[in-house]
Structure 1
Amino acid sequence: MPSNLIVQAPADGVRLITLHRPQALNALNTALLEELAAELHAADQDPQIRAVVITGSRKAFAAGADINEMAERDLVGILDDPRVAHWQSIAGFGKPLIAAVNGFALGGGCELVMCADIVIAGSDARFGQPEINLGILPGAGGTQRLLRAVGKPLAMQMVLGGEAIDARHALQAGLVSEVTEPELTVERALQVAVAIAAKAPLAVRLAKEALLKAQDMDLASGLRFERHAFTLLAGTADRNEGIRAFQEKRPARFQGL
Protein backbone atom coordinates (compact mmCIF):
# COMPACT_ATOMS: atom_id res chain seq x y z
CA MET A 1 0.00 0.00 0.00
CA PRO A 2 1.29 3.49 -0.79
CA SER A 3 2.36 5.50 2.24
CA ASN A 4 2.29 8.95 0.66
CA LEU A 5 -1.06 8.62 -1.11
CA ILE A 6 -4.67 7.92 -0.19
CA VAL A 7 -6.37 5.96 -2.97
CA GLN A 8 -10.16 5.70 -3.12
CA ALA A 9 -12.87 4.58 -5.54
CA PRO A 10 -15.68 7.10 -4.94
CA ALA A 11 -17.74 6.14 -8.02
CA ASP A 12 -17.90 3.51 -10.73
CA GLY A 13 -15.04 3.96 -13.15
CA VAL A 14 -13.38 6.72 -11.10
CA ARG A 15 -10.23 6.61 -8.99
CA LEU A 16 -9.42 9.40 -6.51
CA ILE A 17 -5.75 9.81 -5.56
CA THR A 18 -4.92 12.19 -2.71
CA LEU A 19 -1.34 13.30 -2.11
CA HIS A 20 -0.70 12.75 1.59
CA ARG A 21 2.47 14.25 3.04
CA PRO A 22 0.78 16.81 5.31
CA GLN A 23 3.93 17.46 7.34
CA ALA A 24 5.67 18.66 4.15
CA LEU A 25 2.75 20.37 2.37
CA ASN A 26 2.72 17.42 -0.05
CA ALA A 27 6.24 18.17 -1.29
CA LEU A 28 7.05 15.76 -4.11
CA ASN A 29 9.86 13.51 -2.94
CA THR A 30 11.08 10.44 -4.81
CA ALA A 31 8.94 8.03 -2.81
CA LEU A 32 5.72 9.95 -3.49
CA LEU A 33 6.46 10.26 -7.20
CA GLU A 34 7.25 6.56 -7.42
CA GLU A 35 3.97 5.66 -5.71
CA LEU A 36 2.00 8.07 -7.88
CA ALA A 37 3.55 6.75 -11.09
CA ALA A 38 2.76 3.18 -9.98
CA GLU A 39 -0.86 4.02 -9.13
CA LEU A 40 -1.42 5.77 -12.44
CA HIS A 41 0.18 2.89 -14.35
CA ALA A 42 -2.15 0.45 -12.58
CA ALA A 43 -5.15 2.66 -13.36
CA ASP A 44 -4.11 2.89 -17.01
CA GLN A 45 -4.03 -0.91 -17.23
CA ASP A 46 -7.38 -1.44 -15.45
CA PRO A 47 -10.30 -1.38 -17.93
CA GLN A 48 -12.72 -0.68 -15.09
CA ILE A 49 -11.09 2.69 -14.36
CA ARG A 50 -12.07 5.35 -16.88
CA ALA A 51 -10.98 8.60 -15.20
CA VAL A 52 -8.69 9.63 -12.36
CA VAL A 53 -8.85 12.63 -10.04
CA ILE A 54 -5.72 13.74 -8.23
CA THR A 55 -5.81 16.19 -5.35
CA GLY A 56 -3.95 17.32 -2.25
CA SER A 57 -5.06 19.02 0.95
CA ARG A 58 -7.05 22.20 1.46
CA LYS A 59 -3.80 24.02 2.29
CA ALA A 60 -1.62 22.66 -0.49
CA PHE A 61 -2.06 20.61 -3.61
CA ALA A 62 1.73 20.26 -3.63
CA ALA A 63 4.16 22.94 -2.51
CA GLY A 64 6.94 21.84 -4.85
CA ALA A 65 9.82 19.41 -4.81
CA ASP A 66 11.23 18.19 -1.51
CA ILE A 67 14.07 20.70 -1.01
CA ASN A 68 15.67 18.70 1.81
CA GLU A 69 15.91 15.66 -0.45
CA MET A 70 17.20 17.81 -3.31
CA ALA A 71 19.95 19.25 -1.10
CA GLU A 72 21.28 15.75 -0.44
CA ARG A 73 21.83 15.00 -4.12
CA ASP A 74 25.13 15.77 -5.79
CA LEU A 75 25.51 16.36 -9.54
CA VAL A 76 25.90 12.65 -10.27
CA GLY A 77 22.74 11.91 -8.32
CA ILE A 78 20.83 14.58 -10.22
CA LEU A 79 21.96 13.26 -13.60
CA ASP A 80 20.87 9.75 -12.60
CA ASP A 81 17.69 10.89 -10.85
CA PRO A 82 14.97 8.18 -10.82
CA ARG A 83 12.35 10.91 -10.60
CA VAL A 84 12.83 11.60 -14.31
CA ALA A 85 11.29 8.22 -15.18
CA HIS A 86 8.50 8.76 -12.67
CA TRP A 87 7.62 12.13 -14.23
CA GLN A 88 7.65 10.61 -17.72
CA SER A 89 5.26 7.90 -16.56
CA ILE A 90 2.91 10.43 -14.94
CA ALA A 91 2.91 12.69 -17.99
CA GLY A 92 2.20 9.71 -20.26
CA PHE A 93 -0.98 8.63 -18.46
CA GLY A 94 -3.43 7.67 -21.19
CA LYS A 95 -6.81 8.10 -19.50
CA PRO A 96 -8.41 11.40 -18.48
CA LEU A 97 -6.58 12.92 -15.51
CA ILE A 98 -8.33 15.66 -13.56
CA ALA A 99 -6.56 17.81 -10.97
CA ALA A 100 -8.52 19.26 -8.06
CA VAL A 101 -6.35 22.06 -6.70
CA ASN A 102 -6.63 23.94 -3.43
CA GLY A 103 -3.93 26.06 -1.85
CA PHE A 104 -0.38 26.03 -3.14
CA ALA A 105 0.60 24.38 -6.43
CA LEU A 106 4.19 25.51 -6.72
CA GLY A 107 7.23 24.18 -8.53
CA GLY A 108 6.74 20.47 -9.02
CA GLY A 109 3.17 20.91 -7.80
CA CYS A 110 2.43 23.28 -10.68
CA GLU A 111 4.19 20.91 -13.07
CA LEU A 112 2.00 18.05 -11.80
CA VAL A 113 -1.09 20.20 -12.41
CA MET A 114 0.06 20.72 -15.99
CA CYS A 115 0.25 16.95 -16.50
CA ALA A 116 -3.51 16.84 -15.91
CA ASP A 117 -6.02 17.16 -18.74
CA ILE A 118 -8.61 19.16 -16.79
CA VAL A 119 -7.91 21.40 -13.79
CA ILE A 120 -10.57 22.42 -11.27
CA ALA A 121 -9.17 25.05 -8.91
CA GLY A 122 -10.45 26.37 -5.63
CA SER A 123 -10.58 30.14 -5.45
CA ASP A 124 -7.73 30.01 -2.90
CA ALA A 125 -5.35 28.15 -5.24
CA ARG A 126 -2.02 29.67 -6.22
CA PHE A 127 0.17 28.49 -9.09
CA GLY A 128 3.84 29.23 -9.56
CA GLN A 129 7.29 28.11 -10.68
CA PRO A 130 9.59 29.67 -8.05
CA GLU A 131 12.66 27.54 -8.84
CA ILE A 132 14.59 30.62 -9.98
CA ASN A 133 14.73 31.68 -6.32
CA LEU A 134 16.88 28.60 -5.64
CA GLY A 135 19.22 29.30 -8.54
CA ILE A 136 17.66 26.62 -10.73
CA LEU A 137 14.82 26.33 -13.23
CA PRO A 138 11.77 24.07 -13.51
CA GLY A 139 12.97 20.56 -14.27
CA ALA A 140 9.83 18.47 -14.77
CA GLY A 141 8.41 20.11 -17.88
CA GLY A 142 7.56 23.47 -16.34
CA THR A 143 9.27 25.70 -18.90
CA GLN A 144 7.72 23.78 -21.80
CA ARG A 145 4.16 23.15 -20.62
CA LEU A 146 3.70 26.51 -18.92
CA LEU A 147 4.50 28.51 -22.06
CA ARG A 148 2.12 26.35 -24.08
CA ALA A 149 -0.60 26.82 -21.47
CA VAL A 150 -0.41 30.55 -20.70
CA GLY A 151 1.70 32.08 -23.47
CA LYS A 152 5.16 33.61 -23.51
CA PRO A 153 4.75 36.85 -21.51
CA LEU A 154 3.08 35.32 -18.45
CA ALA A 155 5.29 32.22 -18.54
CA MET A 156 8.38 34.45 -18.60
CA GLN A 157 7.07 36.48 -15.66
CA MET A 158 6.26 33.37 -13.63
CA VAL A 159 9.53 31.54 -14.35
CA LEU A 160 12.03 34.41 -14.49
CA GLY A 161 10.43 36.40 -11.69
CA GLY A 162 9.34 33.43 -9.59
CA GLU A 163 5.91 35.03 -9.25
CA ALA A 164 2.81 33.00 -8.42
CA ILE A 165 -0.66 33.74 -9.80
CA ASP A 166 -4.04 33.21 -8.18
CA ALA A 167 -6.84 30.98 -9.41
CA ARG A 168 -8.72 33.72 -11.28
CA HIS A 169 -5.59 34.78 -13.14
CA ALA A 170 -4.86 31.12 -13.92
CA LEU A 171 -8.37 30.73 -15.34
CA GLN A 172 -8.00 33.83 -17.53
CA ALA A 173 -4.61 32.59 -18.76
CA GLY A 174 -5.86 29.11 -19.63
CA LEU A 175 -3.95 27.19 -16.95
CA VAL A 176 -7.14 25.93 -15.29
CA SER A 177 -10.53 25.10 -16.73
CA GLU A 178 -12.81 26.11 -13.86
CA VAL A 179 -12.72 27.90 -10.49
CA THR A 180 -15.00 26.95 -7.64
CA GLU A 181 -15.30 27.41 -3.89
CA PRO A 182 -12.45 25.61 -2.08
CA GLU A 183 -14.77 23.27 -0.20
CA LEU A 184 -16.34 22.14 -3.49
CA THR A 185 -13.16 21.58 -5.53
CA VAL A 186 -12.87 17.83 -5.14
CA GLU A 187 -16.63 17.34 -5.43
CA ARG A 188 -16.70 19.26 -8.71
CA ALA A 189 -13.70 17.37 -10.07
CA LEU A 190 -15.41 14.08 -9.23
CA GLN A 191 -18.56 15.24 -11.03
CA VAL A 192 -16.48 15.86 -14.15
CA ALA A 193 -14.77 12.48 -13.76
CA VAL A 194 -18.07 10.64 -13.37
CA ALA A 195 -19.44 12.31 -16.51
CA ILE A 196 -16.34 11.29 -18.49
CA ALA A 197 -16.40 7.77 -17.08
CA ALA A 198 -19.89 7.33 -18.54
CA LYS A 199 -18.64 7.97 -22.09
CA ALA A 200 -17.27 5.42 -24.56
CA PRO A 201 -13.76 4.56 -23.28
CA LEU A 202 -12.17 4.10 -26.71
CA ALA A 203 -13.57 7.39 -27.92
CA VAL A 204 -12.39 9.19 -24.79
CA ARG A 205 -8.85 7.84 -25.10
CA LEU A 206 -8.57 8.69 -28.79
CA ALA A 207 -10.15 12.11 -28.29
CA LYS A 208 -7.60 12.90 -25.58
CA GLU A 209 -4.78 11.73 -27.82
CA ALA A 210 -6.06 13.81 -30.73
CA LEU A 211 -6.27 16.94 -28.58
CA LEU A 212 -2.74 16.42 -27.28
CA LYS A 213 -1.46 15.92 -30.83
CA ALA A 214 -2.76 19.39 -31.64
CA GLN A 215 -0.08 20.84 -29.33
CA ASP A 216 2.79 19.15 -31.14
CA MET A 217 1.68 18.70 -34.76
CA ASP A 218 1.01 21.07 -37.61
CA LEU A 219 -2.66 21.42 -38.55
CA ALA A 220 -2.52 19.08 -41.56
CA SER A 221 -0.89 16.28 -39.53
CA GLY A 222 -3.35 16.78 -36.70
CA LEU A 223 -6.30 16.58 -39.08
CA ARG A 224 -4.93 13.34 -40.55
CA PHE A 225 -4.70 11.84 -37.08
CA GLU A 226 -8.23 13.01 -36.27
CA ARG A 227 -9.65 11.42 -39.44
CA HIS A 228 -7.80 8.18 -38.72
CA ALA A 229 -9.16 8.06 -35.16
CA PHE A 230 -12.67 8.89 -36.38
CA THR A 231 -12.48 6.00 -38.87
CA LEU A 232 -11.29 3.57 -36.21
CA LEU A 233 -14.17 4.48 -33.90
CA ALA A 234 -16.70 4.10 -36.71
CA GLY A 235 -16.19 0.34 -36.53
CA THR A 236 -16.72 -0.05 -32.78
CA ALA A 237 -19.66 -1.55 -30.94
CA ASP A 238 -19.78 1.54 -28.70
CA ARG A 239 -20.36 3.76 -31.73
CA ASN A 240 -23.35 1.63 -32.73
CA GLU A 241 -24.64 1.65 -29.15
CA GLY A 242 -24.30 5.44 -28.96
CA ILE A 243 -26.34 5.95 -32.12
CA ARG A 244 -28.98 3.42 -31.04
CA ALA A 245 -29.29 5.01 -27.61
CA PHE A 246 -29.74 8.44 -29.18
CA GLN A 247 -32.45 7.12 -31.52
CA GLU A 248 -34.20 5.29 -28.69
CA LYS A 249 -33.90 8.28 -26.33
CA ARG A 250 -32.15 6.34 -23.57
CA PRO A 251 -28.73 6.52 -21.85
CA ALA A 252 -26.01 4.69 -23.76
CA ARG A 253 -24.39 1.64 -22.18
CA PHE A 254 -20.82 1.73 -23.39
CA GLN A 255 -18.63 -1.35 -22.95
CA GLY A 256 -15.31 -0.20 -24.34
CA LEU A 257 -15.71 -2.38 -27.44
Structure 2
Amino acid sequence: MPGDRLTHQDRRDIAAGLAAGLTYSMIARGLQRPVSTVTREIIRNGGPAAYRADQAHQATKRRARRTSAPSTPSPAPPAAATYGRAAEAMQEFRERFAALLGATGLPPMMSRVLACLYATDTGSLTSAELVQQLQVSPASISKAVGYLEKQELIRRERDPRRRRDRYVIDEDVWYQALLASARVNAELADIAEQGAKALGATTPGGTRLQDVSQFLEHVNQDIVHSANHWRQIYFRRTTDR
Protein backbone atom coordinates (compact mmCIF):
# COMPACT_ATOMS: atom_id res chain seq x y z
CA MET A 1 0.00 0.00 0.00
CA PRO A 2 1.46 3.41 -0.94
CA GLY A 3 2.51 5.84 1.79
CA ASP A 4 0.44 8.77 2.93
CA ARG A 5 2.18 11.35 0.76
CA LEU A 6 1.25 11.65 -2.89
CA THR A 7 4.19 11.46 -5.27
CA HIS A 8 4.75 13.59 -8.35
CA GLN A 9 3.70 10.62 -10.48
CA ASP A 10 0.52 10.21 -8.42
CA ARG A 11 -0.35 13.80 -9.22
CA ARG A 12 0.31 13.25 -12.91
CA ASP A 13 -2.01 10.23 -12.78
CA ILE A 14 -4.67 12.36 -11.08
CA ALA A 15 -4.37 15.02 -13.80
CA ALA A 16 -4.59 12.34 -16.49
CA GLY A 17 -7.64 10.83 -14.81
CA LEU A 18 -9.40 14.20 -14.66
CA ALA A 19 -8.58 14.85 -18.31
CA ALA A 20 -10.08 11.45 -19.18
CA GLY A 21 -13.28 12.29 -17.30
CA LEU A 22 -12.78 9.73 -14.52
CA THR A 23 -14.56 10.18 -11.20
CA TYR A 24 -12.64 10.76 -8.00
CA SER A 25 -13.45 7.20 -6.91
CA MET A 26 -12.03 5.72 -10.11
CA ILE A 27 -8.86 7.79 -9.79
CA ALA A 28 -8.51 6.80 -6.13
CA ARG A 29 -8.88 3.10 -6.94
CA GLY A 30 -6.20 3.35 -9.63
CA LEU A 31 -3.82 4.95 -7.14
CA GLN A 32 -4.87 2.66 -4.28
CA ARG A 33 -5.63 5.74 -2.19
CA PRO A 34 -8.65 6.81 -0.15
CA VAL A 35 -11.17 8.89 -2.10
CA SER A 36 -10.82 11.61 0.54
CA THR A 37 -7.09 11.92 -0.24
CA VAL A 38 -7.71 12.39 -3.95
CA THR A 39 -10.62 14.76 -3.32
CA ARG A 40 -8.58 16.91 -0.92
CA GLU A 41 -5.66 17.01 -3.38
CA ILE A 42 -7.84 18.17 -6.29
CA ILE A 43 -9.89 20.72 -4.38
CA ARG A 44 -6.85 22.16 -2.61
CA ASN A 45 -5.14 22.78 -5.94
CA GLY A 46 -7.74 24.63 -7.96
CA GLY A 47 -10.46 22.02 -8.49
CA PRO A 48 -10.96 19.56 -11.36
CA ALA A 49 -10.93 22.19 -14.11
CA ALA A 50 -7.75 23.96 -12.96
CA TYR A 51 -5.74 21.08 -11.47
CA ARG A 52 -2.13 20.91 -12.75
CA ALA A 53 0.15 18.14 -11.51
CA ASP A 54 3.42 20.10 -11.57
CA GLN A 55 1.92 23.15 -9.86
CA ALA A 56 0.22 21.01 -7.24
CA HIS A 57 3.47 19.20 -6.47
CA GLN A 58 5.42 22.44 -6.10
CA ALA A 59 2.70 23.93 -3.89
CA THR A 60 2.84 20.88 -1.61
CA LYS A 61 6.62 21.18 -1.33
CA ARG A 62 6.30 24.85 -0.38
CA ARG A 63 3.71 24.03 2.30
CA ALA A 64 5.98 21.31 3.67
CA ARG A 65 8.90 23.74 3.91
CA ARG A 66 6.75 26.28 5.76
CA THR A 67 5.60 23.61 8.20
CA SER A 68 9.09 22.28 8.92
CA ALA A 69 10.83 25.66 9.10
CA PRO A 70 11.43 26.97 12.63
CA SER A 71 8.90 29.66 13.36
CA THR A 72 9.36 32.88 15.26
CA PRO A 73 5.98 33.69 16.77
CA SER A 74 5.12 37.30 17.31
CA PRO A 75 5.44 38.24 20.95
CA ALA A 76 2.13 38.60 22.73
CA PRO A 77 1.26 42.17 23.74
CA PRO A 78 1.20 43.03 27.44
CA ALA A 79 -2.00 42.12 29.24
CA ALA A 80 -2.61 45.81 29.89
CA ALA A 81 -2.75 46.61 26.15
CA THR A 82 -6.55 46.46 25.91
CA TYR A 83 -6.88 49.59 23.75
CA GLY A 84 -9.69 50.82 25.95
CA ARG A 85 -11.91 47.84 25.14
CA ALA A 86 -14.62 46.94 27.60
CA ALA A 87 -14.13 43.42 28.96
CA GLU A 88 -17.90 42.85 28.98
CA ALA A 89 -18.20 43.79 25.30
CA MET A 90 -15.36 41.45 24.33
CA GLN A 91 -16.90 38.61 26.32
CA GLU A 92 -20.27 39.19 24.62
CA PHE A 93 -18.58 39.19 21.21
CA ARG A 94 -16.80 35.91 21.92
CA GLU A 95 -20.01 34.25 23.07
CA ARG A 96 -22.05 35.44 20.08
CA PHE A 97 -19.29 34.52 17.63
CA ALA A 98 -18.93 31.06 19.19
CA ALA A 99 -22.70 30.54 18.99
CA LEU A 100 -22.72 31.39 15.27
CA LEU A 101 -19.76 29.13 14.62
CA GLY A 102 -21.63 26.38 16.44
CA ALA A 103 -24.63 26.95 14.16
CA THR A 104 -22.42 26.01 11.19
CA GLY A 105 -21.79 22.59 12.74
CA LEU A 106 -18.59 23.27 14.68
CA PRO A 107 -18.69 21.58 18.13
CA PRO A 108 -19.24 23.97 21.07
CA MET A 109 -15.77 23.84 22.64
CA MET A 110 -14.04 24.14 19.29
CA SER A 111 -16.26 27.17 18.54
CA ARG A 112 -15.29 28.81 21.82
CA VAL A 113 -11.56 28.26 21.22
CA LEU A 114 -11.75 29.65 17.68
CA ALA A 115 -13.76 32.69 18.83
CA CYS A 116 -11.26 33.27 21.63
CA LEU A 117 -8.35 33.23 19.18
CA TYR A 118 -10.13 35.64 16.85
CA ALA A 119 -10.66 38.07 19.72
CA THR A 120 -6.89 38.52 20.23
CA ASP A 121 -4.74 41.02 18.34
CA THR A 122 -1.98 38.47 17.77
CA GLY A 123 -4.36 35.71 16.73
CA SER A 124 -2.42 33.28 18.92
CA LEU A 125 -2.67 31.90 22.45
CA THR A 126 -1.02 29.15 24.45
CA SER A 127 -2.94 26.25 25.91
CA ALA A 128 -2.57 27.77 29.39
CA GLU A 129 -3.96 31.11 28.17
CA LEU A 130 -6.94 29.37 26.57
CA VAL A 131 -7.59 27.46 29.79
CA GLN A 132 -7.50 30.71 31.75
CA GLN A 133 -9.75 32.66 29.37
CA LEU A 134 -12.33 29.94 28.85
CA GLN A 135 -12.20 28.52 32.39
CA VAL A 136 -12.12 24.91 31.22
CA SER A 137 -9.79 21.96 31.77
CA PRO A 138 -6.51 21.50 29.87
CA ALA A 139 -7.92 18.24 28.48
CA SER A 140 -10.83 20.14 26.90
CA ILE A 141 -8.44 22.59 25.25
CA SER A 142 -6.20 19.76 24.04
CA LYS A 143 -9.14 18.02 22.39
CA ALA A 144 -10.43 21.25 20.85
CA VAL A 145 -7.11 22.39 19.36
CA GLY A 146 -6.45 18.89 18.04
CA TYR A 147 -9.76 18.98 16.20
CA LEU A 148 -9.18 22.49 14.84
CA GLU A 149 -5.67 21.56 13.67
CA LYS A 150 -7.05 18.55 11.83
CA GLN A 151 -9.61 20.79 10.11
CA GLU A 152 -6.77 23.19 9.20
CA LEU A 153 -8.51 26.06 10.99
CA ILE A 154 -5.53 26.74 13.27
CA ARG A 155 -1.87 25.77 13.31
CA ARG A 156 0.65 25.09 16.06
CA GLU A 157 3.83 27.15 16.43
CA ARG A 158 6.65 26.38 18.82
CA ASP A 159 7.85 29.30 20.94
CA PRO A 160 11.54 28.45 21.53
CA ARG A 161 11.91 31.15 24.16
CA ARG A 162 9.20 29.77 26.40
CA ARG A 163 9.40 26.13 25.29
CA ARG A 164 5.71 25.83 24.70
CA ASP A 165 3.30 25.78 21.80
CA ARG A 166 1.16 28.65 20.63
CA TYR A 167 -2.03 28.05 18.67
CA VAL A 168 -2.41 30.43 15.76
CA ILE A 169 -5.31 31.27 13.50
CA ASP A 170 -4.30 30.54 9.95
CA GLU A 171 -4.64 33.55 7.64
CA ASP A 172 -6.44 31.24 5.20
CA VAL A 173 -8.92 30.00 7.80
CA TRP A 174 -12.08 30.80 5.83
CA TYR A 175 -10.50 29.72 2.57
CA GLN A 176 -9.60 26.38 4.16
CA ALA A 177 -13.11 26.09 5.61
CA LEU A 178 -14.61 26.58 2.15
CA LEU A 179 -12.28 23.98 0.69
CA ALA A 180 -13.18 21.54 3.46
CA SER A 181 -16.85 22.00 2.58
CA ALA A 182 -16.03 21.60 -1.10
CA ARG A 183 -14.25 18.32 -0.40
CA VAL A 184 -17.36 16.93 1.26
CA ASN A 185 -19.55 18.11 -1.63
CA ALA A 186 -17.16 16.51 -4.13
CA GLU A 187 -17.39 13.18 -2.33
CA LEU A 188 -21.19 13.47 -2.24
CA ALA A 189 -21.26 14.19 -5.97
CA ASP A 190 -19.03 11.20 -6.61
CA ILE A 191 -21.06 8.75 -4.57
CA ALA A 192 -24.28 10.06 -6.12
CA GLU A 193 -22.83 9.32 -9.56
CA GLN A 194 -21.92 5.81 -8.42
CA GLY A 195 -25.48 5.36 -7.18
CA ALA A 196 -26.86 6.54 -10.51
CA LYS A 197 -24.80 3.92 -12.34
CA ALA A 198 -25.84 1.22 -9.89
CA LEU A 199 -29.55 2.03 -10.27
CA GLY A 200 -29.34 2.60 -14.00
CA ALA A 201 -29.09 5.98 -15.70
CA THR A 202 -32.56 5.73 -17.29
CA THR A 203 -34.44 4.76 -14.10
CA PRO A 204 -36.17 7.39 -11.93
CA GLY A 205 -33.77 6.76 -9.05
CA GLY A 206 -30.73 6.84 -11.32
CA THR A 207 -31.86 10.07 -12.98
CA ARG A 208 -32.43 11.69 -9.60
CA LEU A 209 -28.97 10.76 -8.35
CA GLN A 210 -27.35 11.85 -11.61
CA ASP A 211 -29.02 15.27 -11.28
CA VAL A 212 -27.74 15.56 -7.70
CA SER A 213 -24.22 14.64 -8.78
CA GLN A 214 -24.14 17.18 -11.61
CA PHE A 215 -25.61 19.94 -9.44
CA LEU A 216 -23.05 19.43 -6.67
CA GLU A 217 -20.17 19.13 -9.13
CA HIS A 218 -20.96 22.37 -10.97
CA VAL A 219 -21.73 24.38 -7.84
CA ASN A 220 -18.56 23.04 -6.25
CA GLN A 221 -16.44 24.17 -9.17
CA ASP A 222 -17.92 27.66 -8.87
CA ILE A 223 -17.17 27.76 -5.13
CA VAL A 224 -13.55 26.66 -5.56
CA HIS A 225 -12.98 29.06 -8.46
CA SER A 226 -14.45 31.99 -6.50
CA ALA A 227 -12.48 31.09 -3.34
CA ASN A 228 -9.19 30.94 -5.27
CA HIS A 229 -9.98 34.19 -7.11
CA TRP A 230 -10.76 36.23 -4.00
CA ARG A 231 -7.96 34.67 -2.00
CA GLN A 232 -5.48 35.97 -4.57
CA ILE A 233 -7.02 39.45 -4.43
CA TYR A 234 -6.93 39.65 -0.63
CA PHE A 235 -3.41 38.22 -0.55
CA ARG A 236 -2.24 41.01 -2.86
CA ARG A 237 -3.94 43.60 -0.65
CA THR A 238 -2.26 42.17 2.44
CA THR A 239 1.11 42.22 0.70
CA ASP A 240 0.62 45.84 -0.37
CA ARG A 241 -0.21 46.86 3.20
Bigger fraction of residues in strand: 1
Larger Cα-atom Rg:
2
Bigger fraction of residues in helix: 2
TM-score when normalising by structure 1: 0.21
TM-score when normalising by structure 2: 0.22
